[in-house]
Amino acid sequence: MALLEVKNLAIQFGGLRAVDDFDLSIEKGELYGLIGPNGAGKTTVFNLLTGEYKPTSGIITLDGVDITGKKPIEINKAGIARTFQNIRLFKQLSVLDNVKIGLHNQYKYSTVASILRLPSYYKTEKEMNEKAMELLKVFGLDKHADVLSSNLPYGEQRKLEIARAMATNPKLLLLDEPAAGMNPNETEELMENISYIRKNFGMTILLIEHDMKLVAGICEKLTVLNFGRILTQGDTKTVLKNPEVIKAYLGDE
Amino acid sequence: MKNSKLTKQSKDNLGTIAMVVIIYIIVQICSAAGLVNSHLAGLLVPLCVYATMAVALNLVVGILGELSLGHAGFMCVGAFSAAFFSVAHADTMNTFPRFIIAILIGGLIAGIFGFLIGIPVLRLNGDYLAIVTLAFGEIIKNIMNVLYIGMDEKGYHFSMKSANDLTMTENGKMIINGPQGITGTPYDATFTAGFIILLIAVIVVLNLINSRDGRAIMAIRDNRIAAESVGIPVTRYKMLAFTMSAVISGCAGALYAHNLASLIATPARFGYNMSILFLVFVVLGGIGSTRGAIIASIILTLIPEVLRFIGDFRLLIYSIVMIVMMIVNWNPKSRAFIEAHNPFKKKEKEVK
Amino acid sequence: MVSFITNLINGLSLGSIYAIIAIGYTMVYGIAKMLNFAHGDIIMVGGYLAFTIITTLGLPVGLGILVAVVGCLGLGVAIEKIAYKPLRNAGSPLAVLITAIGVSYFLENMALLIFGSDPRIFTSVVPFSTVKIGPFTIPGTTIISIVVSLLLVFFLQMFVNKTKPGQAMLAVAQDRDAASLMGISVNGTISLTFAIGSAMAGIAGVLLCSAYPTLSPYTGAMPGIKAFVAAVFGGIGSIPGAMIGGLLLGVIEILGRTYISSQLSDAIVFSVLIIVLLVKPTGLMGKVTQEKV
Supply the DSSP string of B138-150, one letter for each residue.
HHHHHHHTT-EEE
Instruction: Please state the rounded mean pLDDT for residues B323-336.
Output: 85
Residues of chain C with C-beta less than 8 angstroms from the C-beta of B276: 37, 101
pLDDT exceeds cutoff 70 at C288: no
DSSP B334: H
Taking only the tens place, the pLDDT of each residue in B260-294 is 989 999 888 999 889 999 999 999 888 899 999 99
Instruction: Please state the rounded mean pLDDT for residues B226-255.
Output: 97
CB-count exposure of residue C159 (10 Å: 0-12, 13-18, 19+): middle
Whole-number pLDDT of residue B4: 46
For C72, half-sphere exposure in the C-beta direction (CA atoms, 13 angstrom radius) is: 33
Q: Using 50, 70 and 90 to split pLDDT, how confident is the model at C245?
A: very high
Please judge whether B330 and C35 are an interchain contact, meaning their C-beta atoms are less than 8 angstroms apart. no
Average per-residue pLDDT in chain B? 89
Closest CA to C47 of C163, C172, C217, C271: C217
pLDDT exceeds cutoff 80 at C228: yes
Whole-number pLDDT of residue B200: 97
Instruction: Please state the rounded mean pLDDT for residues B282-309.
Output: 89
What are the residue ranges in chain A where pLDDT is below 50? Answer: 253
Please judge whether C263 and B146 are an interchain contact, meaning their C-beta atoms are less than 8 angstroms apart. yes
Average per-residue pLDDT in chain C? 90
Instruction: Give the chains touching B; criterion: ≥3 Cβ pairs < 8 Å.
Output: A, C
Chain B's closest residue to A157, CA to CA, is B351
Most confident range (mean pLDDT) of B29-33, B59-63, B141-145 is B59-63
Which of B132, B284, B332 lies at the smallest CB-CB distance from C274?
Answer: B132
Kindly state whether A46 is in contact with chain B, defined as any CB-CB distance less than 8 angstroms: no
Do B192 and B93 form a contact (C-beta atoms < 8 A)? no
Whole-number pLDDT of residue A253: 46
pLDDT exceeds cutoff 80 at B16: yes
Whole-number pLDDT of residue C287: 72
Whole-number pLDDT of residue B10: 78
Whole-number pLDDT of residue A251: 65
Whole-number pLDDT of residue C213: 87
Instruction: Please state the rounded mean pLDDT for residues C17-34.
Output: 90
| pTM of the predicted protein model | 0.91
Kindly state whether C279 is in contact with chain A, defined as any CB-CB distance less than 8 angstroms: no
Q: What is the count of residue pairs from A and C with beta carbons less than 8 Å apart?
A: 4
SS3 A9: strand
Please judge whether C109 and B135 are an interchain contact, meaning their C-beta atoms are less than 8 angstroms apart. no
Whole-number pLDDT of residue B264: 92
Whole-number pLDDT of residue B342: 65
pLDDT exceeds cutoff 50 at B3: no
Closest CA to C192 of C174, C166, C171: C166
Percent of chain B that is helix, strand, coil (3-state, to 5): 75, 5, 20
Whole-number pLDDT of residue C75: 97
Instruction: Please state the rounded mean pLDDT for residues B178-203.
Output: 93
Taking only the tens place, the pLDDT of each residue in C159-218 is 999 999 999 999 998 888 899 999 999 999 999 999 999 999 999 999 999 988 889 999
pLDDT exceeds cutoff 70 at B5: no
Spatial separation of the C-alpha atoms in residues C293 and B226, rounded to whole Å: 10
pLDDT exceeds cutoff 80 at C227: yes
**CATH class label, B8-31+44-145+181-340:** mainly alpha
Spatial separation of the C-alpha atoms in residues B119 and B232, rounded to whole Å: 18
Chain A's closest residue to B213, CA to CA, is A111
Give me Rg for the CA atoms of chain A: 19
pLDDT exceeds cutoff 60 at B114: yes
Spatial separation of the C-alpha atoms in residues B70 and C221, rounded to whole Å: 16
Residues of chain B with C-beta less than 8 angstroms from the C-beta of C103: 319, 323
CB-count exposure of residue B210 (10 Å: 0-12, 13-18, 19+): buried
